[in-house]
Amino acid sequence: MDQPWLWITFTLAVVVLLALDLFVFHRVAHEVRKREAAIWSIIWIALALAFAAGVYVFSGRELALAFLAGYIIEKSLSVDNIFVFVLIFSYFAVPKRYQHRILFWGILGALVLRGTMIGAGTWLIHRFEWILYFFGAFLVFTGARMAFAGEEGVEVEANPVVRLIRRFLPVTKRYHGQRFVVRAPVGRGRRLIATPLLVVLVMVETTDLIFAVDSIPAIFAVTTDPFLVYTSNICAILGLRSLYFLLASVIGTFRFLQIGLSIVLVFVGVKMLIVDWYDVPIGASLAAVMGVLIFSVIASLLLPEAAEAHSPVQHDPLQLPPTHEAPRIGADPDVDE
């Protein structure tokens, strides 16, 4: 599926949907409630299923299943993103009405970054077929590490991009509405100063980039068709914002989900490693991934008493380090509004 018009049509459709989302449905910043998040989650899933149906009609069952498998893998791995987003928003005490704006611009940046990574991955696979074995081994290693990894906090100062921003651009101690930068007096002139909202956006972008290193090779285990890899990835992350608002308060209760995700990564990694000896059918891969995820969720719900040690992070403002004082909504003195 390498026809240019497919890429152009899909990209234009995504741009139109994002424009409607930001400038029509979320033009005014507001807190996204669970009911609204559930409706949008259904809409994004329905659009992905409609796209899969179109692939089935025009390209056949095998490619449609490949798209669905890639979509489900990326959707399930994005749950880890949600947990980290909860930690980031809690650390910076981000007002709930601004969280959608951050996730919107974060996902817009992710479209570009992931498209670039998918293009590079496709080029590598076609140029060096042995790279699939490297991807497979990397996924097995990542899955095993995830199974034994504990909960980690957010280390803002360890993020090199955040350090770079703070080196060249001062950061205010308060939010200024939904603005990422403001102008303030410095010396004899006025210069741009970043708000904490920009720092949060950078954290979200770099976090997504780190997770994409795992998820994109996992989709290549299902199909090497660049169009299917790209569309399944993009369709999954388009619904990430609504999924965040739907699951953020309960994500910590799924204590077996991390184990399930690690099994999925190991499975697709092994699938890559044995492809020359046995090619696992797409239908079987899809069933295995779905089965593991459903079982991990059901097991978490049936054994809730052990989930107390993994309670979800609260959204109440935290006591932050001196360089990141607890933000207060309102303008800094002498800042241009």
Domain ranges (residues) in the chain: 4-324
Q: What is the DSSP letter of 205?
A: H
Interval 9-67: pLDDT, tens: 888 888 888 888 777 777 777 777 888 888 888 999 999 999 999 999 988 888 999 99
Neighbouring residues of 260: CB distance < 8 A, sequence distance ≥ 6: 76, 292, 293, 295, 296, 297
Is the pTM higher than 0.85? The answer reads no
Contact of 265 with 74, CB cutoff 8 Å: no
In the chain the first and final C-alpha atoms are separated, in Å, by 49
Token digits for 295? 């079982």
The confidence score (pLDDT) of residue 244 equals 85
Residues of the chain with pLDDT under 70: 1-2, 149-159, 161, 185-189, 249, 252, 304-337
Q: Would you state the pLDDT for residue 105?
A: 85
Cα separation of 189 and 176, whole Å? 20
From CA 37, how far away is CA 19, in angstroms rounded?
Answer: 18
Kindly state the helix (H) or strand (E) to which residue 282 belongs, with its residue range. helix 282-302
